[in-house]
């Protein structure tokens, strides 16, 4: 009877540990473009519907260095901890969206928009986990009106995505967005990307733009996930905006901002 009681107690302890466990991982985001931005090292912790992303190597000026959510990412609060300011991350992103590589105020017409997704066979593993490899392609043509002179520009986005079904996709939080800046095309791109089963461990996106007859301008965005760990659930306060922060949207050109 005593042995049985100890066994039951052990099971209850294990069950409690499982119920009160969180997942954390490191995400390294590397951009190769004209700005020569160093890689961003980000630590994500997920506990049920709560998530926190902290940029571990943030150097001013920046818009934010912490992202918080308590509803699985449907609403996200961004913090600038040196300035003690916060803003609604999704709302501010929506204000800034525009077709990739276009200057504000240029009249454009979109033509020949298309998106495709395909799976390629692979026997790779990432961080010891088996993965499936997907290729996502999006392309379109803009006709840009510069004071009555219309010029065509070709746009292409190719993404290689490696995902594992050994981790729940819901653990992913604030991955670098795949966006063209056009609502209809981005909605289709988002839907196709979300149809991929599994947690994304690596993503390599190449964006190219070229005026008709001109040279291409290429930008590369790479995201890699590693150091995936199960940890005890942190304090709930870790996922909410601290007291004393002021609601302030990012301002281009201001210290500590974009």
How many Cβ atoms sit within 10 Å of the Cβ of residue 73?
19
Q: For 109-152, how does the pLDDT look when each residue is reduced to its tens digit (9 = 90+)?
A: 888 888 889 999 999 999 889 999 999 998 888 888 888 889 89
157, β-bridge pairs: 138, 207
Q: For 204-253, how does the pLDDT look when each residue is reduced to its tens digit (9 = 90+)?
A: 999 888 998 888 889 899 999 999 999 999 999 999 999 999 999 886 44
Q: For 51-88, how does the pLDDT look when each residue is reduced to its tens digit (9 = 90+)?
A: 999 999 988 888 899 999 999 988 999 999 999 999 98
Q: For 26-49, how does the pLDDT look when each residue is reduced to its tens digit (9 = 90+)?
A: 999 998 876 777 899 999 999 999
- Distance in angstroms (rounded) separating the CA atoms of residues 147 and 150: 8
Residue ranges of domains in the chain: 1-96+233-258, 97-226
Q: What is the pLDDT of residue 14?
A: 40
> What region, left, alpha or beta, does residue 192 occupy, with left being phi > 0 and alpha being psi -120 to 50 degrees?
alpha
Q: What is the pTM of this model?
A: 0.79
Q: What is the pLDDT of residue 2?
A: 42
Spell out a b/e string for 169-206, using b for 16 or more CB atoms within 10 Å of the CB, else e. Answer: eebbbbeeebbbebeebbebbeebbeebebbbbbbebe
State CA 211 to chain mean position distance: 29
- Distance in angstroms (rounded) separating the CA atoms of residues 126 and 50: 26
């Amino acid at each position: 009877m005593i042995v049985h009681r100890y066994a039951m107690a052990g099971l209850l302890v294990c069950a409690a540990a499982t119920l009160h466990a969180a997942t954390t991982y490191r995400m390294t985001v590397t951009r190769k473009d004209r700005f020569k931005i160093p890689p961003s090292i980000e630590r994500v912790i997920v506990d049920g519907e709560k998530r926190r992303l902290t940029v571990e190597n943030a150097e001013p000026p920046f818009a934010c260095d912490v992202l918080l959510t308590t509803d699985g990412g449907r609403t996200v609060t961004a913090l600038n901890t040196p300035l003690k300011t916060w803003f609604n991350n999704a709302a501010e992103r929506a204000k800034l969206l525009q077709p990739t590589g276009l200057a504000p105020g240029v009249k454009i017409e979109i033509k020949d928009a298309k998106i495709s997704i395909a799976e390629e066979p692979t026997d790779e593993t990432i961080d010891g986990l088996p993965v499936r490899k997907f290729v996502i392609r999006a392309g379109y043509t803009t006709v840009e009106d510069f004071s009555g002179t219309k010029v065509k520009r070709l746009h292409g986005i190719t993404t290689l995505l490696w995902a594992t079904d050994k981790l729940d996709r819901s653990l992913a939080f604030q991955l670098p967005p795949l966006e063209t800046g056009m609502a209809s095309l981005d909605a289709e791109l988002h839907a196709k990307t979300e149809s991929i089963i599994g947690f994304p461990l690596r993503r390599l996106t190449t964006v190219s733009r070229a005026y008709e007859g001109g040279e291409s301008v290429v930008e590369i965005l790479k995201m890699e996930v590693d150091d995936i760990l199960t940890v005890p659930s942190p304090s709930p306060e870790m996922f909410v905006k601290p007291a004393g922060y002021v609601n302030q949207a990012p301002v281009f050109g201001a210290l500590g901002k974009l």
